[in-house]
C-alpha cells in the first residue's frame, strides 16, 4: 500500500510511523539527488500557499520552508514575530479559522506547543510544527537522515546527546525510539528531558528494541559513540537564565578532549546556530568530523519532501 501523508499535520515527530519517516526520506533523497528533477518538483504544488507563523527569529527553518515551497511551485507567506502575537491579538482558534480559509497549510514556529496543537485542531488545513518549546520534529527528520547518510543502518549506530534536554533533544528521543536506534543522553541533573517525553520514548522503544539512556556523565555518553550531538545552552527566550545555565553546563562542552572519547570516525552534529566557545569549540565545529552543515542542508530536503507529501 502506498504511503500517503496528504492533508496530515505534524505536531510531534511521534505523529509519524517508521514507514512514514522512511517515505519522507525516500522523497527527500530523490529530490536531493536530482532523481526527481526540478521541473517535476515544480508541478507538485503550483499555486498552493504556506503560511509561516513565527514568534521567534529563524534562519534555517524559514529558509528551508520558503525555498521548498518555491521549488514545489507554490508560495510561502512569512509572518514575523511582531505580526503574529498569536493568542494575544486574538484567540488562537480565530486566527486558525482565518488562515484555514486562506492558505493551504501552516508552518508554525511558536513557543507554546499548545498553540500549535490548537492551530492543528481548528484551522482545517495541515499544520507543521516548525519548532515549539516542547519539540522540533522537522529538525529530527533532518538529523537522522544525516546520520543515515554518513553511517548507514540506524539500528547499528550509537548516538550521544550532550547538553540541554530541551525541544531538539525531545524530538531526537522520539525519532530514535521510533527507528530502533540507540541514544545516550547526558544533561546536567536540573536540565533533563521532560518526564512525559521520556515516558513516551520508553514506551515506543519497548516495541522497536531501541535503547534510550539518560544520565549526567558526558564522558560516559560519548564513549564509543558514532555520533556526538549538541545544542546551545541558552535557547532563545532563556536569556535571563544565561549566567546560571553557563555554570550548570560546565563539563558539557563538545571539545577535542570529549570528542576523543567517541569512535575515531564519529561525526558531530549541531542543529545551529552555535554559540562557539560555549557548547562547542571552533576546533570541533570547523573540523573534519563535523556534519552540522550537511545537517543544515538536509533541513531543506526533508522539509520540502514533507510538504510535497502533505500537499501532493
**Catalytic amino acids?**
109, 136, 139, 231, 271, 299
Kindly write down the DSSP assignment for every residue of 206-217, as one continuous string.
HHHT-EEEEES-
Could you tell me the CA-to-CA distances from 48 to 44, 94, 127, 306 in Å, in that order? Answer: 9, 22, 14, 14
- Comparing C-alpha atoms, which of 29, 21, 12 is closest to residue 297? 29
Q: How many CB atoms lie within 10 A of CB 39?
A: 8
| Kind and range of the H or E run holding 54 | strand 49-54
Helices 60-71, 292-311: inter-axial angle, 10-degree rounding: 50
Q: Measuring CA to CA, which residue among 82, 124, 86 is closest to residue 108?
A: 86
User: CB–CB of 115/87 below 8 Å?
Assistant: yes
Residues contacting residue 243 through CB under 8 Å, at least 6 positions apart: none
Residues 131 and 61 sit within 8 Å (Cβ to Cβ): yes
- What radius of gyration do the chain's Cα atoms show? 19
Angle, CA of 269, 304 and 99, to the nearest 5°: 115
Helix (H) / strand (E) containing 198 = helix 195-208
The span from the CA of 145 to the CA of 148, in Å, is 5
The C-alpha atoms of residue 282 and residue 266 are separated, in whole angstroms, by 17
Amino acid at each position: 500500500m502506498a504511503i500517503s501523508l496528504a492533508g496530515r499535520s505534524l505536531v510531534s515527530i511521534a505523529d509519524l510511523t517508521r514507514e512514514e519517516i522512511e517515505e519522507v526520506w525516500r522523497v527527500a533523497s530523490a529530490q536531493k539527488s536530482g532523481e526527481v528533477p526540478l521541473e517535476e518538483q515544480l508541478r507538485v504544488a503550483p499555486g498552493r500557499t504556506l503560511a509561516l507563523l513565527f514568534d521567534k527569529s529563524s534562519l534555517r527553518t524559514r529558509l528551508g520552508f520558503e525555498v521548498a515551497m518555491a521549488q514545489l511551485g507554490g508560495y510561502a507567506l512569512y509572518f514575523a514575530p511582531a505580526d503574529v502575537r498569536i493568542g494575544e491579538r486574538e484567540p488562537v482558534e480565530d486566527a486558525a479559522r482565518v488562515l484555514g480559509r486562506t492558505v493551504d497549510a501552516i508552518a508554525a514556529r511558536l513557543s507554546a506547543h499548545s498553540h500549535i496543537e490548537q492551530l492543528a485542531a481548528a484551522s482545517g488545513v495541515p499544520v507543521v510544527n516548525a519548532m515549539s518549546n516542547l519539540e522540533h520534529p522537522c529538525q529530527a527528520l533532518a538529523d537522522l537522515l544525516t546520520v543515515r547518510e554518513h553511517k548507514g543502518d540506524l539500528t547499528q549506530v550509537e548516538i550521544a546527546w550532550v547538553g540541554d534536554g530541551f525541544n531538539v533533544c525531545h524530538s531526537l528521543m522520539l525519532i530514535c525510539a521510533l527507528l530502533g536506534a540507540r541514544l545516550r543522553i547526558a544533561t546536567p541533573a536540573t536540565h533533563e528531558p521532560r518526564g512525559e517525553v521520556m515516558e513516551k520514548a520508553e514506551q515506543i522503544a519497548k516495541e522497536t528494541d531501541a535503547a534510550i539512556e539518560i544520565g549526567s556523565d558526558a564522558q560516559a555518553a560519548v564513549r564509543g559513540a558514532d555520533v556526538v550531538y549538541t545544542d546551545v545552552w541558552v535557547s532563545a527566550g532563556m536569556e535571563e537564565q544565561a549566567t546560571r545555565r553557563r555554570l550548570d553546563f560546565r563539563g558539557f562542552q563538545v571539545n577535542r578532549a570529549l570528542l576523543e572519547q567517541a569512535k575515531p570516525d564519529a561525526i558531530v552534529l549541531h542543529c545551529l546556530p552555535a554559540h562557539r566557545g560555549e557548547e562547542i569549540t571552533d576546533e570541533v565545529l570547523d573540523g573534519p568530523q563535523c556534519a552540522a552543515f550537511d545537517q543544515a542542508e538536509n533541513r531543506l530536503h526533508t522539509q520540502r519532501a514533507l510538504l510535497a507529501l502533505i500537499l501532493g
